[in-house]
Amino acid sequence: MKSARSAHAILQMISSLLLLLYPTLSESQDDAERARKRDETFVGKTAWQMDDKLGEKWQELTGRFIFQRSCLSCHTRGPAAYARTKWQETLGTFPDDTHNDLLPEEYRDLTAMFSYGSMMPNDQSRTQALRTFLQRHAPATAAEESAPDSLRSVDLLPQVGDEAPPFSIVDVDGVTHDLDVYAQKGESLILVFSRAHW
C-alpha cells in the first residue's frame, strides 16, 4: 500500500514536471520547426551575405521597403525632403518613445520578415537599414532639400501606370525570362518577389 502511494506520488511529480516543462518543450518544437523551414528555404549563403557591397545594397533595399510600408503610413515626405544630417539626427534615437507607441502593427511585421533571413534581426539592424536607404537618397545638405510641400520622390517603387523596369533573369532551370519577350507575346506577367511563402 505504501509503495503504491509512493509510486502515485512519483507519477504526480512527473506529470507536474511535464506540465511545467510543456511550454518549453512546445517552444523548442516550434523553434525546431522554424529552423527546419529556414534551412529548407535558405540553403547556403546568398551572394549578398558574402559580399560587403551587395550586403549594403540589401540593407538599402530592405530600408526602402520598410520606409515605404511603414514610415509612409503616417508621414508624407520622402527621403529627399530632408538633408542627411537631419535624418541621422532623427534615426539617432529611433525608435523613440513616440514611435514605439505609434508604430503600426505592420512595422513589427517587417521585423519578423527580415529576421528570418538573419539580416534584419532586431531594432538596431532595422534602423541601420533605414539609415542606409535614407543616406543614399537624402540630399547631402539642407540647401539641397526639396520644397517642404513636395511629395516627389516619396514613392520610389514602380507605381501603377509606370512603365515596368526592364529586366532579364535566368530561372533555376536555365530558362531566360525577359520582360520584353512577354510583351512581344502579348502576355501579362505576375511578378512575385518573395521569401518563398507560396
Q: Which residues bind other proteins (CB under 8 A)?
A: 40-48, 54, 57-58, 61-62, 64-65, 68-69, 106, 109-110, 112-113, 116-117, 157-167, 169-173, 175, 177, 179-180, 182-183, 185-198
C-alpha separations of 138 from 52, 78, 130, 135, 174 in Å: 22, 9, 12, 5, 39
> Are the C-beta atoms of 64 and 126 separated by less than 8 Å?
no
Q: How far apart are CA 18 and CA 94, in angstroms?
A: 42
Nearest approach, Cβ of residue 86 and other proteins (Å): 25
Q: Which is nearer to other proteins, 95 or 117 (CB)?
A: 117
Nearest approach, Cβ of residue 149 and other proteins (Å): 25
> Are the C-beta atoms of 166 and 160 separated by less than 8 Å?
no
Q: Which is nearer to other proteins, 41 or 100 (CB)?
A: 41
Nearest approach, Cβ of residue 98 and other proteins (Å): 24
C-alpha separations of 189 from 40, 133, 155 in Å: 27, 28, 22
Q: Which is nearer to other proteins, 23 or 165 (CB)?
A: 165
Nearest approach, Cβ of residue 150 and other proteins (Å): 22
Q: Which is nearer to other proteins, 3 or 188 (CB)?
A: 188
Q: Which is nearer to other proteins, 83 or 113 (CB)?
A: 113
Using the Cα atoms of residue 25, residue 28, residue 34 and residue 39 in order, give the sign of their dihedral.
Answer: negative
> Are the C-beta atoms of 58 and 117 separated by less than 8 Å?
no
Nearest Cα to Cα of residue 168 among 152, 146, 183, 186? 183
Nearest approach, Cβ of residue 182 and other proteins (Å): 6
C-alpha separations of 67 from 117, 136, 177 in Å: 19, 13, 29
Q: Which is nearer to other proteins, 48 or 94 (CB)?
A: 48
